[in-house]
Structure 1
Amino acid sequence: MTNLKKIELALIALTIGLLACAPAFAQDGMNPLIPSGNGAPPGQVPKAVPSDPLYDFGSALEGTMVKHTFSIKNTGQGYLDIQGVKTSCGCTTGDPSKMHVAPGDTTDIAVAFDTHFQKGHQVRTITVSTNDPNNPQVALTVQGIVKKQVEAVPGEVAFGDVKRGTEETKELLVNDLNPGKGTFSVGPVSNSSSNIKVEQDKRPDGKPGALIKVTLLKTMPVGPFDDSIKITTNRVPLQVDVFGNVTGDLNIDPAQVSFGIVPRGQDIVRIFKLSNQGPHPIKVLDVASSSPAVAATAEPVTPGKEYKVTVTLRHGTPDGQLRGNLTIKTDDPDQATLNVPFYAIIGQFKT
């Protein structure tokens, strides 16, 4: 037998041996000789499943901390990554116990809701970002009713329009809404404006709490004002807003200029009155506009006492919303500058 013949017989034997082993390879899905019609198995993915996404705490007293722990289980086959936690307000926090959660394992989300300055029915949402392709944003909710421990009546102090140089006082009562918690004390009381005086006194009815006197002083300058009264108690702190407007001898009527909705291509004119109710005559020195689209002029009706101000919205003003201010300068030492807002909507509008 030649060497070539021997080589051919050896190759035939090797081929027969490989084919004989093919069923064993095929059983394991690794047959190198028979191509498979199936693709690669899909990747393992996580699955985020919250145990209970809603926590109703019922009711809580204002100023207390509501705490709860949510659980999110990874019921998938891949690792679950906690990529971030966001809350619907700064008064609520959410902290996960694990950022990388194995299949079958659980991460806890510890939530704390600060009820200071909250009242009534409250809802807070905690959003947990994950790498779960089917549930990338897991929403958890805390809700309940926050009951006030103390209150101020009225809840704000509104002086309205007050003539310059007038001193006016308003009062409010601080009430204890949870008398069963023991002795109730109030104080100290403070505010920011030196033109508003705040005093604390006993309630006239003898009940626990305080009577707060708020006095607008004569020194308050002309124009709108606002302030906050901070009231300390042994329950929770209170904050009461104070606001109003001091009017001077010079008054604008109407207080703002509205052109309304106007078509483009024509001048629109509005007129308002500047009146002097003080004992001394005044002069209007200048009227300026914050927009080149609006011009204004002032002419005396009764010299020193009354002026007519004519305001013109010029044609050719581009379509859209227009807002601005007129600045009126006078020789009155207390009201050297008056501001009058104006607004308009320019263009053709179809309903």
Structure 2
Amino acid sequence: MKRLLFRILRRPAKVASFPRWAVVLVAGSLAGTAVLSAAQSPAPPAVAETAATAVGRAPRIEFATPNYDFGRVGAGQVVKHDFVFTNTGNATLVLTEVRPGCGCTTSGTWDSEVEPGRTGRIPIQFNSGGFSGRTSKSISVRCNDPQRPSLFLQISADVWTPVTLQPASVYFNLTGESPTNQVRTVRLVSNLDGPLTLEEPETESAAFRTHLKTVQPGREYELEVTTVLPLPTSYVHAPITIKTSSPEVPVLTVPATAMVQPVVTVMPATLTLPANWVPGGVAPAVTLRNTGSQPLVLTDPTLNVEGATVQVNELQPGRLFRLMLQIPAGAALRPGERWEVKVKTSHPSYPEITVPVVQAPRPATTTTLRPPLRPVTPPPPPPGAPLGPTYR
């Protein structure tokens, strides 16, 4: 190794002819190391695309018009419109969400990806049923445009009805103390070009009495609705119909509803104890609420169980009460039996309130029958084997 190094160092002319590189061999007593060095480093590998080349590449969304007016639309008519947009950027435009403002405007299948320079559409459908007069609805759009990631479109319409009903229905929320002369009034206004005449209102329910009054002949009327107590049931719903002279709307319908709430309500009406309830544990409770005009007074609360007590807690004076039951340990509510909580009140229509107390049925227990165990007889020994223990 030393001789080879000496020969190379003694030949400088040969070294000068090397093309811009040199080989140096360093020899040591124990080891040698070869190092390759270049007089000029090679060029670094090319990069496909740097971050700088991506600067300025982004989609841009532009709508021909973000607002559209349907103009005059007949009540109940379904109208449609396509919002057209263009991608004016230099990257793919992606629409991630199109959400109508309410269930009245529904969108069809929109163009979710649009290349630069291309156009897309968002179809919108509007159902004018249940609307009257000037109506506007909005649609939210989300996309990957960095400048406008979220935007809103708007549709509007003048919903036209031949006859306007204000309000469109009547509702009575009554109690046992409600006066019988409660009246609900519906205003009927004709939007037709010619005069409109109405016949007398009709209803199949005896719970409502109606009267039609003319405000402006051929143009405006008032429908008065009155409840007739007592109602046949605590809840009554019936349509009131009015025949008209117009072929566009031959019959007008006004829904009428009446509900009677008791002055004193009991919750629950039947107290059901859990199947695993144990007397002496958590005390069950009954709540009483008074919605009458006068404060309520409760007296003499009882429970027909020996040793049981009923405590009256007045949460809101004269209005809200809670009856806490204390049932002693050892009391048993047999299947099919029931206890009764009773309390007297100061209301003449509710002199005494009774709440049944029952217990949920216990789950049936199932018994798994297993076959009896049989003694196991060992197999007989092989021929020639000793019959007893063997000692050695």
Using the TM superposition, name which of 137-146 and 84-93 deviates more. 137-146
- 1:21-32 pair list within 5 angstroms: 32=44
Aligned to 1:131: 144
Give yes or no for the alignment of 1:8 onto 2:18: yes
- Equivalent of 2:88, from 40, 55, 75? 75
- Aligned pair partner of 1:59 in 72, 79, 82: 72
- 8 Å contact kept, 2:197–2:218: no
Give the counterpart letter for 1:76 in structure 2. G
Q: Partners in 2 of 1:232 and 1:4 — Cα distance?
A: 120
Structure 2 residue 156 is matched with structure 1 residue 143:
yes
Equivalent of residue 40 in structure 1, options 48, 52, 60 = 52
- Aligned 1:232-271 pairs, distance under 5 A: 235=249, 240=255, 242-243=257-258
Which residue is equivalent to 2:314? 296
Runs of 5+ consecutive residues of structure 1 not aligned to the other structure? 13-17, 23-30, 256-271, 276-282, 288-293, 298-308, 312-323, 338-351
Match of 1:305 in 2: none
How high is the TM-score relative to the length of structure 1? 0.52
Q: For 1:101, which of 114, 117, 125 is the aligned residue?
A: 114
Give per-residue Cα distances to partners, 1:182-214, cap 9 Å, x unaligned.
99999x9889xx7845889999x9969999785
How many Å separate the matches in 2 of 1:108 and 1:34? 42
Indicate the residue corresponding to 2:321 in structure 1. Answer: 326
Say whether residues 1:273 and 2:295 are aligned partners. Answer: yes
SS of residue matched to 1:76: coil
* Aligned-partner SS, 1:141: strand
Amino acid corresponding to residue 83 of structure 1 in structure 2: T
Confirm or deny: 8 A CA contact 2:209 2:225 kept in the other structure. yes
Counterparts in 2 of 1:149 and 1:326: CA distance versus 1, 3 Å = farther
The residue type equivalent to 2:161 in the other structure is K
Partner Cα separation in structure 2 for residue 222 and residue 330 of structure 1 = 26
C-alpha distance in 1, partners of 2:241/2:54? Answer: 63
Give the aligned residue type for 1:41: T
202 and 120 in structure 1: CA distance in 2 versus 1, 3 angstrom threshold: closer
Residues 77 and 116 (structure 1 numbering): CA distance in 2 closer, same or farther, change over 3 Å?
same
Partner of 1:119: 132
Distance 1:167 1:65, change over 3 A: same
* Paired residue type of 1:40: A
The 2-side partners of 1:222 and 1:247 are apart by: 12
RMSD, aligned CA: 5.7
The one-letter amino acid of 1:274's match is: L
State the shift of 1:180 in Å: 4.7
Shift of 1:103: 0.8
The AA in structure 2 aligned to 1:50 is F
Judged with a 3 Å threshold, the aligned counterparts in structure 2 of structure 1 residues 170 and 32 are, in CA distance, closer, same or farther, namely: same
Higher relative contact order, chain-length normalized (CA < 8 Å, sep 6+): 1
Cα distance in 1 for residues equivalent to 2:100 and 2:137: 7
2:364 is matched with none
| Structure 1 counterpart of 2:378 | none
Q: What does 1:99-248 correspond to in 2, within 5 Å?
A: 99-152=112-165, 155-157=168-170, 175=188, 177-180=190-193, 196=207, 216-220=227-231, 227=237, 229=239, 235=249, 240=255, 242-243=257-258
Aligned residues: 266
Distance 1:286 1:221, change over 3 A: farther
Shift of 1:139: 0.8
1:304 aligned residue? none
2:97–2:143 Cα contact (<8 Å) kept: yes
Equivalent position amino acid for 1:89 in 2 = C
Q: Which has the higher strand share?
A: 1
Q: CA deviation at 1:130?
A: 1.0
Contact 2:211–2:225 (CA<8 Å) still a contact in 1? Answer: no
- Residue aligned with 1:40, SS: helix
For 1:112 and 1:135, locate their aligned partners in 2 and report how far apart those are by CA, in whole Å: 24
* TM-score of the two chains, using structure 2 as the length reference: 0.48
Give the AA of the match of 2:73: A
Decide which structure has the larger Cα Rg and report it. Answer: 2
